[in-house]
Amino acid sequence: MSYRAPVSEFGFLMDHVVGMDRVAATDRFAEATRDTVHAILTEAGKMSEEVLAPLNRAGDLSPARLENGVVRSPPGFAEGYRAIAEGGYIAISADPAHGGLGLPMTVTTAVNEMMASACLSLQLNPLMTQGQIEALEHHASDEIKALYLPRLVSGEWCGTMNLTEPQAGSDVGALRSKAVPQEDGSYAISGQKIYISWGDNDFSGNVIHLVLARLPDGGPGTKGISLFLVPRDLPNEDGGAGVRNSLKVVSLEHKLGLHGSPTAVMEYDGATGWLVGEPHNGMAAMFTMMNNARLGVGVQGLGVAEAAYQHAVSYAMDRKQGRVPVEGGPGTILDHADVRRMLTGMKAEIFAARALALDLAVSIDLAQATGDADMAARAAFLTPICKAYGTETGISVADTGIQVHGGMGFIEETGAAQYLRDVRVTAIYEGTNGIQAMDLVGRKMMDDGAAATTLLDEIAETAAASDAGAALSDAATALRTTTAALTGMQMNDRFAGSVPYLRAFALALGGHYHLKAAKAEPGGVRAKLAHSFLLRQLPELHGLLAQVQGGAADLYAFSADDFAA
């Protein structure tokens, strides 16, 4: 079955649900007209369908490998990467001063989803570069910008991010990598980094690493960390890639999925690098890249969900099994109630996750274009929800897709299992979903729930405007009560209920988006889907909120020995 890019769905959501017209109405993004955006998405969709999608299975069967210190990418990945770079899809939102298109993040978000659906292993490469471009635009010196940004924007060079070390995973402050100042203003970087996505490749002219390390006078913890730009090949006088830097790929990880994407262990042995941003303030610069990546990773989960759903629907429309109870149906398993339950749930969650990602992107664009602090707070609040809900949707939809296939889903040749293997890591990297949830109830609640309340007001308004809004209204009221209780809890009690709270908020937002879609298309497919979501997905919210109210006492009633009993 071939992937079909959901270009019309993006258009509908932008026009009727997330308010893309507000972005196009700003001076900064005036060129992002409806026709321009549609043209870009149409071409990106064709590339995803025709060039990238055929690479997905090839990357799984012929993984990236390390040969004599050189990373060899799967067959066709070089050509796929060139199509992405030459189409301008790496730098849709980058500053035109360095060759970018300067278009809204909303457009990048839609394009990234299509590329992730088609071939997640390859799409991970430009996603890393996009984040690096944004970090350099905000924090790098003019000299670094002038040399590196045009080459990253064009796709001539690729970018990575280097945070994790064997002893420092989510606790980044425990890192041991060192940076020693040199007389010429550069720094000698030494240390080992693990889990570096696309740590090297054989199709770009250079690979540029952003590396967290500690200066000699850097204090303990995250406050003493600085950020450094470390190229694989040191630029020569004309700016081209020159001699090899003192770094190498030690090995590639053997992973559950994403076999086409090399995940490297990197060794830096006095490698030459340059400071990005202020000394000891590397986390601020890196978080610029990570926040970009958190939206991008949520969209990766969503993209795999769409591909897995299409795969499952195709199978269900073809597979004949058992006596079907529907007169005039296709006579396949699609006619069975349980298969329809699974497919409808998959489709409804994908719609909610896609609307959430685009809503977040619109909020980012409006904050950038207008400087509106409230819109920036809205974007900040939605970011952890988008990352977690998008990736959990990818995992659950891919898992359900296997179930739709029945026994054949467990057989690798059908391709259904690859979606689950590939998407599983998205709930882990760029901050685990548990960390996203703790961020939501911790940092994002430092305003005493003001951003949450504003969103709940939006949800309640949508519910009140719909004849079918009673369930959503009840959900918003329950979520409002729980939010007020949450802000009065001790932090560890908040953390104990943070994951169910995040999902509950995502479901309320999902109902909000579905009802807006139903209002724009009464009686159509989207109205049917909204009814199903409100009936089958939204009621879960009340059980989730009961967990939030419970705090952490039951969890800490267990001793360490009890867990081993």
Q: Considering the entire predicted model, what is its pTM?
A: 0.96
Residue 353 belongs to some domain of the structure? no
Which two tokens mark 57?
Answer: 């299975």
Quickly count: other Cβ atoms within 10 Å of residue 1's Cβ.
15
Domain that holds residue 534: 434-553
Q: How far apart are CA 559 and CA 149, in angstroms?
A: 53
Residue 127 belongs to some domain of the structure? no
Residue 136 belongs to some domain of the structure? no
Q: How far apart are CA 516 and CA 528, in angstroms?
A: 13
**Nearest by Cα to 497 from 563, 445, 455:** 445
Residue 328 belongs to some domain of the structure? no
The confidence score (pLDDT) of residue 1 equals: 57
- One-letter amino acid identity for 309? Y
Residue 316 belongs to some domain of the structure? no
Residue 469 belongs to some domain of the structure? yes
- The residue from 31, 49, 430, 458 that is catalytic is 430
The contacts of residue 142 (CB under 8 Å, 6+ apart) are none
The confidence score (pLDDT) of residue 237 equals: 80
* CA diameter of the chain: 81
Cα separations in angstroms, 458 against 6, 63, 138, 207, 440: 27, 46, 32, 44, 18
Query: Domain total for the chain?
Result: 1
The stretches in the chain having pLDDT less than 50 are: none
| Burial (CB count within 10 angstroms: exposed 0-12, middle 13-18, buried 19+), residue 204 | buried
Q: How far apart are CA 115 and CA 121, in angstroms?
A: 10
Give CA 494 to chain center in angstroms: 25
Residue 323 belongs to some domain of the structure? no
DSSP run (H or E) holding 114: helix 105-118
The confidence score (pLDDT) of residue 504 equals: 98
The confidence score (pLDDT) of residue 474 equals: 98
Whether 430 is a known active-site residue: answer yes
Residue 238 belongs to some domain of the structure? no
